[in-house]
Amino acid sequence: MNTVNGTYGNLQTKCLVFTHDGWYAVQGSRNVNRTNDLIDHGVDVETLNDWDFFTASDEIETLEDLCNEINS
């Protein structure tokens, strides 16, 4: 489990990225994606090679939210 600073979109919008067991989500999003890529500080989530995904029932605001969605 980890939280890193990252970016998304053409404007490189700054965000927090929550990660757990290859799953990740941008804070405030309902999109949960899975990758084998390294997710480290400064990651541009648009460049990650996702191989699985799902839509969370609520917005992901914390690392705990991500873990709960993965395990539900």
Please state the domain count of the chain.
1
d(CA 18, CA 37): 14
Tell me, what's the pLDDT at 1? 74
Which residues constitute the domain of residue 38?
Answer: 2-71
For the chain (length 72 residues), average pLDDT per consecutive 10? 93 96 97 97 96 97 96 88
CA trace torsion 30, 64, 17, 71 (10° rounding):
-60
Provide the CB-side half-sphere exposure for 14 (13 A, CA).
Answer: 2
Pairing of strands 2-8, 43-44: parallel
Tell me, what's the pLDDT at 72? 85
